[in-house]
Amino acid sequence: MANSKSKRKEPQDVLYRIKRGLSAYVSYLAACQMNQAFSEYILYEPILRIFTARGYRVKCEYECPGIEHANRGDRKRIDFVANKGHSLRIALEVKWANSNSPDIRRDLVKLQAFLKSEPESLSLLCVFGRKSFIKHLHFGKGKFKERGKAVYADLRKTKYGCRIFQLHNT
């Protein structure tokens, strides 16, 4: 029987599960020597599974509202838009950090446009990578606030982890 103190409310629960799931999943892939395939895209399937397992309706590659698109070429898209019930709407951009200072400029533009278009939603940046790359990340004062604590898979070899940041509505 689960302790009622350990129960997290949404969206904290799903965000914790995403962090925990991604850290474990990539550690498993590393054990399978799949490091050559590592990119942000391998994170999509576990994120989708976790969202749907928690009862969210999810759209992947959601066309970003509030951004003018050229008549030709690729449209700006949010990695995930997840809804639970009538009141909880989450936009989630995913970034694989390959350095201590990942370039989030394009992610930030999309999250800002989404939040401006839907001010009651949560605009989140999920940053995944080696612990040494992500443990001291800061994205500018006042722009983001971290949601919960980082989760790391510490299995003696490379330590992978995940952090999720919420964009402030300014």
- Global pTM value: 0.91
CA 149 and chain centroid, separation: 13
Backbone torsion region of residue 55, taken as left when φ is above 0, otherwise alpha when ψ lies between -120 and 50, otherwise beta: left
The answer to whether the beta carbons of residues 160 and 26 sit under 8 Å apart is yes
For the chain, give the mean pLDDT. Answer: 90
Judged against a pLDDT cut of 50, whether residue 2 lies above it is answered with no
> Percent of the chain having pLDDT more than 70?
93
Say yes or no to pLDDT of 74 above 80: no
Amino acid in position 18: I
Q: How confident is the model at residue 71 (pLDDT cuts 50, 70, 90)?
A: low
Q: Which helix (H) or strand (E) holds 12?
A: helix 12-31
**Residue 117, beta-bridge partner list:** none
Confidence band (pLDDT; 50, 70, 90) for 158?
confident
Just give the CATH number of 8-167. Answer: 3.40.1350
